[in-house]
Structures are given as structure tokens and as C-alpha cells.
Amino acid sequence: MNYRTVYEGGKGEIVEKKSRFIGEAFPVETEEEAAEIIGNIKKQYWDARHHCWAYVIGGAQVQERFSDDGEPGGTAGKPILEVIRGHELKNVLVVVARYFGGTLLGTGGLVRAYTQSAQAGIEASTLITKTEGYLMKIGTDYSGLGKLQYLLAQRGLQTVDADYGEAVTLSALVSEEEEKALKEEITEATNGQAVVCRDKECWFACVGGRVVVF
């Protein structure tokens, strides 16, 4: 299982007929966490007219919520939610604070403004794909090291650690889907001499060329 999400949140701003729309994206794991962030945003932008938001949280059972916070129904929270959906993101909250500029934008204008400001917040964020899997320990003698390194490279798997003693133990991140096939390939390539076992379950992602384990 894997999904796209926000690793580091970002902030973007647009101005439409003197109204300021400040969109911010956040990674969240629970609805309680989202509620706390929304409360903090309301305190930070206490003088804004509206604080509209939407989030998508969960794995198999996804929770989607949104709020227009006083804007005409369907003009703020739902457009923000549609931007999150459009980016196929999960465990993400987007909040847009609006400072009213004195000119009514109309239904269409509000939808465009909230869509663009949510988009700006997401575009300013660092997005990643989180993969569910295992940190695997692979033990071999030195004669089998080259074969293991080749197999891991062929599958694009990340080696996060290596212990060189009398034998070699590699630590690699493997998705659930790849685990069985990788074990079979390693067993065949090393004539059953290599030892492969799970170290721990984890989520992992590539961030700016480096691997982060969650």
C-alpha cells in the first residue's frame, strides 16, 4: 500500500479584487490533529473574515470533511476538497484564510479563488509517496554480496544500512508487494545461503533523494 501526502506543509497566497486568500497545507494523521491546526490558524489569522478548510484522512476508511465557514454553501470548503482529491492526496489538511477586500466576488469568483489558493498552498509544499512495507535484514557471506547488491538495484530498493563483519548484513526497505518475490530471487541467486528476515514494519518515502523511515 502507498499513498501521496504532504511531507512539509507550504503556504501560498492570491489576491482577488483586493480580497486576500492565504492557503496552507498540512500533513495530519487524525481528525483531532486537524481540529487543533484549524484552531491555531484561526488564532494566527484572527482578523480574517473566513477560515475555510478541507481534509482527507485515513487509509482504507477515508474521512473527508470540509467547511465553508460562513461563505455561501459550496463555494469554499468543497473546492478546497476537490483540489486535495485532484492531487490524490491523503492525510492532508488545507486551510484558507480570507481577508475581505470590500468587493463581492460572486459564486464563481469564490470557487476560483478558493481553488487557486488551495492549489497555491499545496504547490508550496513538499509532496511524497509513502510506502508501507518492512525493514529487511539480509545476511550473506562476501561471495554473495555482489549478487544481493545487483538484485536490490534492479528492483530500485533502498539499502539504508550495512554491517561488514565476518559476514555482511544489509538493511533494505521493501514494500509488502515485493517482499515475497525478493525473498525468492535472493534464495535462488545465493543457492539458499543468504538469510532474509523482517526487522520491523514501517512506512518509508524518498524525500529529496534521501530515504525517510516513519
Q: Assess whether pLDDT exceeds 80 at residue 177.
A: yes
Average of per-residue pLDDT across 66-89? 97
pLDDT for res 133: 92
Q: Express each pLDDT in 30-59 by its tens digit.
A: 999 999 999 999 999 999 999 999 999 997
Find out whether 113 and 16 touch, Cβ atoms under 8 Å.
Answer: yes
DSSP, res 69: T
Structural contact between residues 95 and 23, judged by C-beta atoms closer than 8 angstroms: yes
Q: Which residue has the cell 545487483?
A: 150
**Cβ atoms of 95 and 135 closer than 8 Å:** no
Give CA–CA dist 203/130, Å, rounded. Answer: 6
User: What pLDDT is stored for residue 59 in this prediction?
Assistant: 75
Among 97, 47, 43, which Cα is nearest to 71's? 97
* CA 148 vs CA 136, 139, 195: distances in Å: 13, 10, 11
> What is the pLDDT confidence band of residue 192, given thresholds at 50, 70 and 90?
confident
pTM of the model: 0.87
3-state secondary structure of 180: helix
DSSP code at position 89: B
